[in-house]
Structure 1
Amino acid sequence: MTNMLTAIARGGEGIEGIAIHSVPIPVAGPGEALVRLKAATLNFRDLIIARGMMAGLAKEPDYVPLSCATGEVVAVGEGVSRVKPGDRVNPIFALGWLEGRQPSMAMLGGSADGVARQYAVFPAESLCIVPDALGDLEAATLTCAGLTAWNALFLPRPIQRGEWILCQGTGGVSIAALQFAKAAGAHVAITSSSDAKLARARALGADISVNYRTDPDWPAAIRQALGGRGVDIVVDVVGASQVETAASLLNPGGVIAAIGMLGSEFSWHLADVGGNPVARISVGNRAEHAAMQAFCAQHRIRPVVDAVYDLTRLADACRHLESGQFFGKIGINLL
């Protein structure tokens, strides 16, 4: 086999701009590893880039989409000692961001070609060994959504046993935050417009669940269920349009972990809301990725994948993501 399938997209052209091509399998150079990618997952970020909603995120004139995958090392270049053929690995979200708070700009599925392909070459230092406790598809949920949720809970204000977090919706970040918080001994309040999704969240351990469509004053409903107290971390995936409403639930000393823009622009431009600090969460580094993987293995966390599509149906998978009719993550089979 000398060729592989790869998705190619053009930023700003939307889902219809995604096409599948057959191209030669690349070769690992010095310091690199060739990885046979097996499973990938989608993030809302993939739609942001495809639609051109934030200028400058996509490599021009085209790029390989998606940032999250698991694969097996099949060959390494000269000087590589971090990984060897046969190792199961996750490429990290921002290639070269190994530690510290200064992120690399080489972000997969945007400024750097991503993982919607069957083989790829990566810098060996930008690979993390996947624990045996995690399957390929499970591990592929962690690179972007999982690590973002991890740092929302453990970076700006580490969650403590017995404390509360608020999760908005039941997408990948929120469900990962729910699972991490419960494993850490914390409690979770979660919102959704779907009673069926809320039932699934309760099955994963959610302590309070409120349908914001049937109960528009959902903060009051949550506070009542909490006996008048509030939460300690807001996992803000909606953005500025709801951040004040969500922040009204915070206890003194609480923090808003600003992550997404599902409903409006990011909350990143805000320093605080009602005296509560806004912490800008931008995924994380290799060291944090490895710590999250170890935590998942230790606590037997099984990430949730709602549906899986073949690579040739990537556009259909993106439409499923766009619809919002999913729980947790949407997977892509790369085999």
Structure 2
Amino acid sequence: MKAMILRTPGGLDNLQLQEIADPGQPGFGEIRVAIHATSLNFHDLLVADGSIPTADQHIMMADGAGVVEAVGDGVTEFNVGDRVVSCFFPQWPDGLPDSHVSNFTLTPGDGAQGFAAEYVVRPASHFTLAPEGWSHVEAATITTSGLTAWRALVNDAQIKAGDTVLTLGTGGVSVTALQIAKSMGARVIITSSSDEKLERARALGADETINYREQPDWGKVVQALTRNNGADIVIEVGGPGTMAQSIDAVRTGGHIALIGVLTGREGTIPTSKLMAKQARIQGLTVGNRRQQQEFIRALNQTRIRPVISDTFTLATLPDAFRHQQSAAHFGKICVEW
């Protein structure tokens, strides 16, 4: 079978489509899945470009969506023909995170072999059912960015109708957060450096848009748009380079979901201002299997569909990563085969 392999020391030029051994038939508690799609996340890019070291001959990609081809003994949750989607933390079925999910040793595409392959055999608990009627490409957006947005808003921030949500940028997490928040009756403010992308965000339901290049003090703009109350929830994907503005933007007692580190891993935080606002910063990395199942049930009810920016083939995965680096996309970049 074919798989996209990363050779050490990493780098997009070291991604190679290779023939590798078929994984065979499932054992007890396992399922065999024909994978048909994956989607790109910043975490995958860090693996691909060598920023996150991996072993040689590493199969890429954390997200995987496909069809169950065979079911091992003891499996009752899935049947042959079911459409399924992978879990980011297969070792985290439910409950609060613990030391077992403080690293990525079992995360596909990082510490474990990923889903950029035609077939995989994994424990059934590493998957959930995909949303009803979704294509494989659509389902592949759930594993990482989709579940992250859901957990940030619903499980951690406990969003409610009438809340104001500020989301930064127009990547996969932010666009999904926009869609989820609007489906729950929230007001959404979104930022971007592109007026064209902001126009597209308005078409998806964004109530207010801010071009952060034209208005670098966008935290004050959010305050003005909310009559100096601030945003109830901030979806913070930038990290240290944007955190100060997010603290300016959040309301007193509000919630900042720290999801990304697009601007770096360390920086200066105005802690006195954060303390004065009595706001919460909640760091999070994706979510557990139960939360993914809850998200998918909600998707089946709300009929939200993911925004797919661009779709590549497995053989052109390196080009997909280069497109991701250009930041020209709106929503998710996907790969199908």
TM-score (norm 1): 0.93
- Is the Cα contact below 8 Å between 1:258 and 1:266 reproduced in 2? no
Going from structure 1 to structure 2, the CA distance change for 1:50 and 1:11 (only over 3 Å counts) comes to farther
RMSD across aligned C-alpha pairs, in angstroms? 2.0
- Is the Cα contact below 8 Å between 1:11 and 1:49 reproduced in 2? no
In the TM superposition, what is the alpha-carbon distance from 1:54 to its structure 2 partner? 4.3
- Which digits, 9 at most, give the CA deviation of each residue in 1:257-293, with x for residues without a partner? 11111111168x9999612221111111110000011
Unaligned runs of 5+ residues in structure 1 are none
- Is the Cα contact below 8 Å between 2:71 and 2:80 reproduced in 1? yes
| 4+ aligned runs moved over 3 Å, structure 1 | 269-273
- Which digits, 9 at most, give the CA deviation of each residue in 1:122-159, with x for residues without a partner? 11122101131422211111110011111111222201
In the TM superposition, what is the alpha-carbon distance from 1:109 to its structure 2 partner? 0.9
- Is the Cα contact below 8 Å between 2:219 and 2:247 reproduced in 1? no
Helix, strand or coil at the partner of 1:309 = strand
- Is the Cα contact below 8 Å between 1:272 and 1:278 reproduced in 2? no
What are the equivalent positions in structure 2 for 1:185-334 lying under 5 Å apart?
A: 185-265=185-265, 274-275=274-275, 276-334=279-337
- Which digits, 9 at most, give the CA deviation of each residue in 1:64-88, with x for residues without a partner? 1111121000012222222121010
Q: In the aligned structure 2, how far is the partner of 1:245 from the partner of 1:270?
A: 10
Q: In the aligned structure 2, how far is the partner of 1:270 from the partner of 1:81?
A: 51
Out of 64, 70, 92, which is 1:75 matched to?
70
Out of 29, 33, 46, which is 1:48 matched to?
46
In the TM superposition, what is the alpha-carbon distance from 1:198 to its structure 2 partner? 0.5
In the TM superposition, what is the alpha-carbon distance from 1:41 to its structure 2 partner? 0.6
- Which range moves more in the overlay, 141-150 or 243-252? 243-252
| Map of 2:17 onto structure 1 | 20
- Is the Cα contact below 8 Å between 2:36 and 2:64 reproduced in 1? yes
| Map of 1:9 onto structure 2 | 6
- Is the Cα contact below 8 Å between 1:259 and 1:266 reproduced in 2? no
Going from structure 1 to structure 2, the CA distance change for 1:22 and 1:207 (only over 3 Å counts) comes to same
Going from structure 1 to structure 2, the CA distance change for 1:156 and 1:270 (only over 3 Å counts) comes to farther
- Is the Cα contact below 8 Å between 2:308 and 2:331 reproduced in 1? yes
- Which range moves more in the overlay, 230-239 or 217-226? 217-226
TM-score (norm 2): 0.92
Q: In the aligned structure 2, how far is the partner of 1:228 from the partner of 1:271?
A: 20
- Which digits, 9 at most, give the CA deviation of each residue in 1:199-230, with x for residues without a partner? 11111111110111122222222222223221
- Which range moves more in the overlay, 306-315 or 277-286? 277-286
Q: In the aligned structure 2, how far is the partner of 1:21 from the partner of 1:273?
A: 52
- Which digits, 9 at most, give the CA deviation of each residue in 1:153-175, with x for residues without a partner? 12222011100111110000101
Helix, strand or coil at the partner of 2:64 = strand
Q: In the aligned structure 2, how far is the partner of 1:244 from the partner of 1:13?
A: 33
- Which range moves more in the overlay, 24-33 or 314-323? 24-33
| Map of 2:179 onto structure 1 | 179
Q: How many residues align?
A: 328
